Amino acid sequence: MKQFYLLTIVLSVFANAQLSIVKDVTLAGLSPTSNKQAFWQNNKWNGKYYFEAGTTVKLVVTDGTDAGTMMIKDLGITGGTITKIIPAQDFFYFQINVMVFSPSFAMHDELWRSDGTAAGTFLLKEFSNTTSYPLDIGSDLSDYYNYSILGNEMFFSGYTTASGKELWKSDGTVAGTVMVKDITTGAGNTPMDAFTRLGTDVYFFTGLVNFGNLTEPTPEPSIFPYLQD
């Protein structure tokens, strides 16, 4: 059986690297499920690092010490994987991809948030089953960052059977996780990416037009297309 450890590197004044074990996470049942560098570069919030362990999506935190490396909450999701962690001001968002193989294959995404406590870790929205239009809360090439964040507000693309893939936003509450606009009305899809905030405006690319701009606040947010020559 493979043994996993959380490690820390300390550089002394003489530039000699000293490697020390933070915790035997295999023994503790907290082995990280992701070894992607991009994931670990963006899973920091409030001075601590968060990651997934186990087979039922255990949310784990570490502050670089043995005692401070612990499970926050076992979400109890079989077949689930945390694919992205997006830090906000008072909490962080994270996306879970869930795959079910019996009685037939199905896949859906869920948007969660956590403030580093069990009580403050909860589901915001479960999106519809799809294999073609997954939830996308990232906005860069690696999809591990979202540049639309202002305070706790985040814009992203989500999929529902009724409306297809469209523009969504969340403020970290269940009631505040809503579709902004059904750009392609009905069940049609509007592929979009590269969410970027400039002041109160959020810019993004779409598959319908070359460039879009969402201006907030307005009674009903509008999309203003910019067509490149």
DSSP 123-145: EEEEPPP-SSS--B---STTS--
Q: What is the pTM of this model?
A: 0.82
* pLDDT of amino acid 36: 75
* pLDDT of amino acid 227: 35
93: exposed, middle or buried (Cβ count in 10 Å: 0-12, 13-18, 19+): buried
- The values of phi and psi at residue 136, to 5°, are -135, 100
* pLDDT of amino acid 74: 97
Residue 77 one-letter amino acid: I
Q: Is the pLDDT reported for residue 160 higher than 60?
A: yes
Per the model's pLDDT, the better-predicted residue between 136 and 154 turns out to be 154
Q: Is the pLDDT reported for residue 115 higher than 60?
A: yes
**pLDDT tens readout for residues 200-226:** 889 888 865 444 455 443 334 444 433
* pLDDT of amino acid 222: 40
**pLDDT tens readout for residues 15-40:** 566 677 888 888 888 888 877 777 78
Helices (H) and strands (E) in the chain, counts: 2, 16
124: exposed, middle or buried (Cβ count in 10 Å: 0-12, 13-18, 19+): middle
